[in-house]
Structure 1
Amino acid sequence: MRIKRAMERIPGGLMVIPLLLGAFINTFFPDLLRIGNFTQQLFVDGSGTLIALFLLCTGAQINLRSFGVSLAKGATLLTVKWVVGAAFGLIAYLLAGPDGLWLGLAPLAIVAAMTNSNGGLYVALVGQYGKEDDRAAYSLLALNDGPFLTMVALALFGAMGFVEGMFSIKDFISVLLPILVGMVLGNLDEEMRSFLAKGSDMLIPFFAFALGMGIDFAKIVEGGLGGILLGIMTVFFTGTAGYLVFKWFGWNPIVGAAEGSTAGNAVATPAAIAAANASFASIAPLATVQVAASTVTTAFLLPLYIAFLVKRLERKAAMKK
């Protein structure tokens, strides 16, 4: 059986399928894996530890040796992505109803999904439409993997009085230390970076399943349509913003649009945020499934949007001739 290949045919399948399977078991057979010892520690209670190890492996992929145009492009993409995502998150907090939702979306999900991007999709799109320095910009974009930029936005909102609870320095360090340890190891030793890169992919289905074991299936239904809307927002708002900024700088605008996605690893962000600040614990399950739905939506929609933009540029170039 080619289980992995079958899962990969679904965008974000290595994350989405285990998450849904865990949620299904938790909803209909909640005590099936809650039998103690290693089984429960891995499949039910292990999400925090697995996510921490995942963040360490991810941090090792951040290459501090990238300079020049690649660094400028990466920093621009990172900034645009964060500003747009944080802005929509702030709007969501300001306009949220009594249930804490805006348009059915958890503000935490908006920030987590819109400030994070699918690196594999970016590399694939840029490999087709970009240049070598565009691909090299990915090394800096690894900074938007995980909860760091989401925590920065939420901390700012808290300081402005829009979010209950603040992150202390200790909270930041407790979440960021695995990333920093990985970053140091990866930059000191290229072989260590390659070794830890394997862990990034391998851990995703396991922590996704454990996260699913904390989700009621009713929440999947509740968050599904909202997650699709979140994916559409991510593609058209963050992708278009990147397109326009790159066009303004005189760079290939298609590369800017290629950041308009949500990565599968963003599904871990709500849980990481809730672990650092308990005030987010009640909304984390709904935010998790909405981010998961956004991941699938953007994986389907962004390549279509990129194809539309490419044809649009080709028509304009033909008209000038």
Structure 2
Amino acid sequence: MRIKANIEKIPGGLMVVPLLLGAVINTFFPGMLRIGGFTQELFVDGALVLIALFLLCAGAQINVKNVGVTIGKGVTLLTVKWAVGATVGLVAYLFAGPDGLFLGLAPLAIIAAMTNSNGGLYVALVGQYGKNDDRAAYSILALNDGPFLTMVALSIFGAMGFVDGLFAPTDFISVLLPIVIGAVLGNLDEELREFLSSGSNMLIPFFAFALGMGINFADIIAGGLGGVILGIMTVFVTGTAGYFVFKSLNWNPVVGASEGSTAGNAVATPAAIASANAAFVSIEPIATVQVAASVVTTAILLPIYVGFLVKRLEKRGELEGYMQK
């Protein structure tokens, strides 16, 4: 059987197929793999460990002479994602109705969902279509995890002020450290760099499946049509913006599009904001379910969209050139 070859015929197949398989099992048979031991640790609870190992392997491929490019790409991803999400959120606040909603969407949900990207999804997509410095750029992009940048946007709008304690520098360090360790090892020993290079692609389907085991299709139903629309907006607005910004900088535009998702931890952002400012308490429940629906929607839709962009670049004969730059 040619399982791998058939999976790879699907755009982003090494990531999409295991992720959707995990989501189906988690939705309809949630207890099937939650039996403890090695099985649960690998297939259910292992996503963060596998992604950390992936980042270490990717870090080993970084040449210290090119570290400036990695930082530049990471800062660009972070800035584009936040600027676009905050702008759409501002428009929603300006035109919100008496119920505080804009076309059925909570502005708080819009900012939380559109400024926070799914690091695992980014790493998986870039692992297939990007280079090592693209993968390592996640260490900068990870700064948008949690409620901090949502709060920055809200404070700029005058909706609330900064609140201490919602952003810990150790969160950033914890993401960066595996990459740094890998980079040190790879630059000290060329044989170690070659040894670790095989780990990147091999790990993608495993952590993709574990990510899928955290997705429940019921969240789409709970979030309603508004949550699905929010997910679609996140993919096509922030992803497309990243695509064209990267293309204008002569970087691989697929990498820019790969940040067009909503992270699972963004679901907790409305509650964190509401706990910091009572003005958001009334809108917190609907914002939470809409963000949850966006998480699931983007996890399914973004790989498909990225696959479409890849095919488009391949037809033009441009993709190979971008992947070599």
Q: TM-score range by the shorter chain?
A: 0.5 to 0.7
Q: Which residue of 2 aligns with 1:148?
A: 140
Q: CA deviation at 1:87?
A: 0.8
C-alpha distance in structure 2 between counterparts of 1:115 and 1:40, whole Å = 24
Q: CA deviation at 1:226?
A: 5.1
Given candidates 49, 71, 91, the residue that maps to 2:87 is 91
Q: CA deviation at 1:233?
A: 2.9
Q: CA deviation at 1:40?
A: 1.4
Q: Which residue of 2 aligns with 1:212?
A: 212
Is residue 58–residue 200 contact of structure 1 (8 Å, CA) maintained in 2? yes
Q: Which residue of 2 aligns with 1:128?
A: none
DSSP 3-state at the match of 1:186: helix
Given candidates 109, 113, 119, the residue that maps to 1:101 is 109
Q: Which residue of 2 aligns with 1:241?
A: 245
Is residue 258–residue 306 contact of structure 1 (8 Å, CA) maintained in 2? no
Task: Name the TM-score, length of structure 1 as normaliser.
Answer: 0.67
Task: Name the TM-score, length of structure 2 as normaliser.
Answer: 0.66
Q: CA deviation at 1:220?
A: 6.0
Is residue 18–residue 208 contact of structure 2 (8 Å, CA) maintained in 1? yes
Alpha-carbon spacing, 1:234–1:2, altered in 2? closer, same or farther (3 Å):
farther
Q: Which residue of 2 aligns with 1:168?
A: 168
1:9-158 alignment to 2 at 5 Å? 9-66=9-66, 78-94=74-90, 95=92, 97-98=105-106, 100-102=108-110, 106-109=113-116, 118=126, 120-121=128-129, 138=131, 140-145=133-138, 148-151=140-143, 155-158=148-151
C-alpha distance in structure 1 between counterparts of 2:2 and 2:109, whole Å = 40
Q: Does 1:190 align with 2:198?
A: no
Q: Does 1:287 align with 2:295?
A: yes
C-alpha distance in structure 1 between counterparts of 2:252 and 2:172, whole Å = 29
C-alpha distance in structure 1 between counterparts of 2:205 and 2:53, whole Å = 13
Is residue 60–residue 185 contact of structure 1 (8 Å, CA) maintained in 2? yes
C-alpha distance in structure 1 between counterparts of 2:35 and 2:132, whole Å = 42
The total of aligned residue pairs comes to 276
Which amino acid in 2 is paired with 1:39? T
Alpha-carbon spacing, 1:81–1:172, altered in 2? closer, same or farther (3 Å):
closer
Alpha-carbon spacing, 1:38–1:256, altered in 2? closer, same or farther (3 Å):
closer
C-alpha distance in structure 2 between counterparts of 1:285 and 1:188, whole Å = 45
1:262-301 alignment to 2 at 5 Å? 262=258, 270=263, 283=291, 286-287=294-295, 289-301=297-309
In the alignment, structure 2 segments of 5+ residues that lack a partner are: 94-104, 156-161, 274-287, 319-325
C-alpha distance in structure 1 between counterparts of 2:65 and 2:74, whole Å = 17
